[in-house]
Each structure stands twice: as C-alpha cells, then as structure tokens.
Amino acid sequence: MSAPAGRPAAIVFDAYGTLLDVHAAVARHAARLGPAAAAVSALWRQRQLEYSWIHSATDTYEDFATLTARALDHAMAAHGIADPALREDLLAAYRRLDAFPDAAPALAALRQAGLATAILSNGEPAMLDEAVREAGLAPLLDAVLSVHPLRLYKPRAPVYALATDRFGCAPGAIAFVSGNAWDGFGAARFGFRVFSLARSPQPIEYGLDRLAEARIASLAELPAMLAGAGA
C-alpha cells in the first residue's frame, strides 16, 4: 500500500455496507423469518448488487429501491417464504437501516477537523435521504450523492466523477472509504485514494493490497490518518 498522500479535499463514503448495516433490516425481523434469517439477508444483498451490476453492464437502469425490492422477492422465494406483510416490513426497515457504531463518531471527528464529508451511493435520492436522516448522519455530511441522475451504478467511472464534480477537485484529492471491495477497486481505478474497510478478517480482493492506500478495521482509524495529514 502506498504512503499517505496528504490532507484530502473531501472524505467520500459508500453508504450501504460502509456507514449503514445492510443486515439490520433482517435482524429486526429475524424471529419472523426463523432459521432462514441469515441466509435470506445474505442472498438479498447478493442479488441486490448483482442486479445493479447487470443493469450497468447492459446500459439499462431501474432505481435502487426497485432492485432492492426485487432482490428481496427472490431471496424470500428461494427460501419458500410467502408473507406479504413481512415483505413490506422488511422493505420499510431497509429504508431505516442502523448506522454502524463507528460511523457517526468518525464523521463528527472529520468534520471537526475541517474536512468535508459526503456519501456516494447507488441508492436513489428518496431512500438515501430517509436512511441518512433516520440513522442520524445527516448533520455530519456535506453532501449525499446518488447515482440516480446518471442512471448508472458503481463501479462505472462516471459515478465516481460525481464526487470530483461536487468538490471541484482531481480524483487524487478524494479519500474514498468503502466496505465493499469491488467498490474500492472501481474507485481506485478512477484515481481516488481508497481506504478499504474490513470490519472482520477477510481475504484481500481485487488487488487492493496494491491499489488501496490503507486497509482499516474501523472507521475510527480515519481521523488520525486523514485529519492531520499534510496540515
């Protein structure tokens, strides 16, 4: 991994899986799902991402809320669960995901150090706004950027350009933080300084041992790494 490159113009975060716990929706209704709860949550997330990649690869688009609902339908059907009320409750819970415990303190520390903070997400604007507000993160962010106006998904390059356009800087001035390795790879290829988040031990993917500036186990590591860099 390369040496630190100085104080960034902005710290840009992925939302789902980085600041927001994508498994929190199922966790709230685990008793109703029974023994299949963990498997349903994992398949829901897997299909949600796969659907976004296929749409981008084929230059077609449906918004992330639609893909999220479609992925849940698949996950429930795959496990033989037919419960319309539970489906609606899970989708509602997904719009109000819990923030990871390290999210708000890290954002607050970065803001206190005078650094701009933002989200860059596949989420469509309404679901993102609700999620950020309900998680208590809205006051800690300078911008919430959605792919929706582009009708493209990560890891397409124009998505990452939303951040450089918003902050009026070159890619190398953006520190990008993601708990999704494929997203980190796309961001690194675009030219961002990538901080690859792995809250639990897992193999390094996509060459991020070479492409990422750092691999972190918690967002709590970021303020010390970035707030004083080059100051």
**Residue 83 annotated as catalytic:** no
Structure tokens at 27: 């966790």
Distance CA 212, CA 192 (A): 9
Alpha carbon of 185 to those of 68, 141, 212: distances in Å? 23, 24, 8
Identify the burial level of 198 via C-beta atoms within 10 angstroms of its C-beta, where 0-12 means exposed, 13-18 middle and 19 or more buried.
Answer: middle
Q: In the chain, how long is the greatest CA-to-CA distance?
A: 56
Residue among 14, 63, 102, 183 flagged as catalytic: 14
The H or E element containing residue 13 is: strand 10-13
Tokens 């208590």 map to which residue?
136
Question: How many other CB atoms sit within 10 Å of the CB of residue 231?
Answer: 9
Distance CA 227, CA 214 (A): 15
Edge-to-edge strands of the sheet including 10-13? 143-146, 116-121, 10-13, 174-178, 193-197, 214-216
Catalytic positions: 14
